[in-house]
Amino acid sequence: MPCSERKFDMKTTEEKSCCCAVEKDGTCASEPPSKTVRYLLSGIPVLALWWLIYLNLPQFARFFSYGVLHLPAESHIGSAVEFFVYDTPKVLMLLTLVVFGVGLIRSFFSPERTRAILAGKRESIGNVLAALLGIVTPFCSCSAVPLFIGFVTAGIPLGVTFSFLISAPMVNEIALVLLYGLFGWKVAAIYLGTGLLIAMVAGWTIGRLRMERHLEEWVLQLQTSESSYEEEGKTWEERIEYGLEAVRDIVGRVWLYVVLGIAVGAGIHGYVPEGFLASIMGKGAWWSVPVAVLIGIPIYSNAAGIIPIVHALIEKGAALGTVLAFMMSVIALSLPEMVILRKVLRPALIGTFVGVVGFGILVVGYLFNLLI
C-alpha cells in the first residue's frame, strides 16, 4: 500500500516500518542509517586523523618556526614561537577530545540528578560523593548561586555543598587534560588526588563548624520542594549530540583563554632566564608558597588560561608545589567568585571558606616542595 494512501490515525505494522522519506511514485523509500550509526562511522576516521596530526605536531612546530619563518635556531624568539605553535594545537586538540568524552558522561548527571544523588546521604559519604561529582558536573562562577541554593534547599548539608563547590571548578576535565598534555599523567594524577582531598577535607571541616546561620536569611527561608525527581531518559544519539554541544560550548568559551595563556607561557619560555624563577618560586624560598597563594586569589582566570603559564614557570625553575598552590588559588579562590557567592553567604562564612581551602592549598604546596 503506498504511504500517501494511509490514514494518519491508522498506523499499521507496514506504516510503522516505513520511513518518513517517500518516493515520487508514492512507495516507501528505504530507511536511512540512524544518526548514531552515522556518528560512529564518521567518528572512526576523524579519530585516526586526530591521532596522526597529534603525533606530528613537534615536527610541524619546528618546521614552521625555523623552515617557514626562518627564525634563528636557539634564539629567544625562535624558542617562544616554537613553544606557541606546538602547544596551541596540542592543547586544543586534547581539550576537544576530552570535553566530548566528559560530555557523554555529563549527559547522565544533570543538576537535578546531582542533587538527588547527594540528598539524604551521611555527611562523610556526601563529602566524597560531592567531590567526585564535581569532576564531571558543569560548574563555573556564574552558576555558583543557583547550584548553591538548589543544594541547600534540597536538604544537602552545608559541608557537602562546599565539597562540590571546591571540586567542580578546581578538579575538572579542562584542568586534567591540560595538565596531562603539558606535564604527563603523574602530575595530572597528583593534582587530581590533592584537589579531591582538599575538597573532601575542607567540606568536612566546614560541616563540623555548623555555620548554617551564616547563610543569608532569604536562602534559609526557601523551602525544599517535595516533588520527586525523575530522570529523563536519553538515547545514545542524544548523548552524542550532548557531547558535541559540550565541545561547542566549552571549547568555544575557553579557546581564547588557552591561546592567551600559551602566548604568555611562550614569552616566559623564550625570554625569562634559566634559574631566575627558581630564586623567587623555588624550594629554597620558604615564603614562596603563601605569596603564590595570595597573588593567585585576585587573578581572574580558569584552568585553560593559567595552566600554560604554570607549564612555562616550571620549565624555568619554579618549584612544582609552589606553582600548584598558585594554580589552585587562582581556580578555587578567585575574587570574582567570592563576589558572586556573597549573594548567598555572609562574610564570616566566605572568610571561613577561603581560610580552610587556603590552608589546604598551603599544605599541598609545602608537601610537594618537600617530596618532589
pLDDT tens series, the chain, 372 aa: 444 444 444 444 444 444 444 444 555 444 555 777 887 788 888 889 999 998 999 899 999 999 899 898 878 898 889 888 988 888 788 778 877 876 777 677 665 666 666 665 666 788 888 888 777 665 554 455 556 666 776 667 888 888 888 887 777 666 777 778 777 888 888 888 888 988 899 889 888 888 888 887 776 676 444 444 444 567 778 888 888 887 887 778 778 877 887 887 788 777 767 566 666 777 777 888 998 888 887 766 666 667 777 777 887 778 888 888 888 888 778 776 777 678 778 899 889 888 888 888 898 889 888 877
Look at residue 63 in the predicted model and tell me its pLDDT.
Answer: 93
Look at residue 59 in the predicted model and tell me its pLDDT.
Answer: 93
Taking Cα atoms as reference points, which of 11, 21, 37, 358 lies closest to residue 201?
358
Cβ-based neighbour number of residue 111 at 10 Å: 15
Q: Which three cell numbers stand for residue 334?
A: 578567585
Cross-strand pairs, 345: 215
Taking Cα atoms as reference points, which of 340, 52, 361 lies closest to residue 198?
361
Beta-carbon contacts of 39 under 8 Å, excluding residues fewer than 6 positions away, are: 237, 240
Identify the DSSP state of 28. B
Taking Cα atoms as reference points, which of 214, 196, 207 lies closest to residue 124?
207
Cα gap 263→135, rounded to integer Å: 27
Rg (CA), the chain: 25
334 Cα distance to chain centroid:
15
- Are 288 and 99 contacting, i.e. CB atoms less than 8 angstroms apart? no
Identify the DSSP state of 26. S
Q: How far is CA 104 from CA 93, 98, 100, 169, 255, in A?
A: 17, 10, 6, 19, 20
Indicate the burial class of 39 (C-beta count within 10 angstroms; 0-12, 13-18, 19 or more): middle
Look at residue 122 in the predicted model and tell me its pLDDT.
Answer: 67
Backbone angles phi, psi at 76, to 5 degrees: -65, -50
Look at residue 224 in the predicted model and tell me its pLDDT.
Answer: 43
Cα gap 289→310, rounded to integer Å: 14
Sign, CA torsion 293/369/133/117: negative
Look at residue 3 in the predicted model and tell me its pLDDT.
Answer: 46
Cross-strand pairs, 38: none
- Are 132 and 199 contacting, i.e. CB atoms less than 8 angstroms apart? no
- Are 293 and 287 contacting, i.e. CB atoms less than 8 angstroms apart? no
Cα gap 273→41, rounded to integer Å: 50
Beta-carbon contacts of 204 under 8 Å, excluding residues fewer than 6 positions away, are: 123, 124, 127, 159, 163
Determine the 3-state secondary structure of 22 from DSSP: strand
- The domain limits of the chain are 1-32, 111-216+237-371
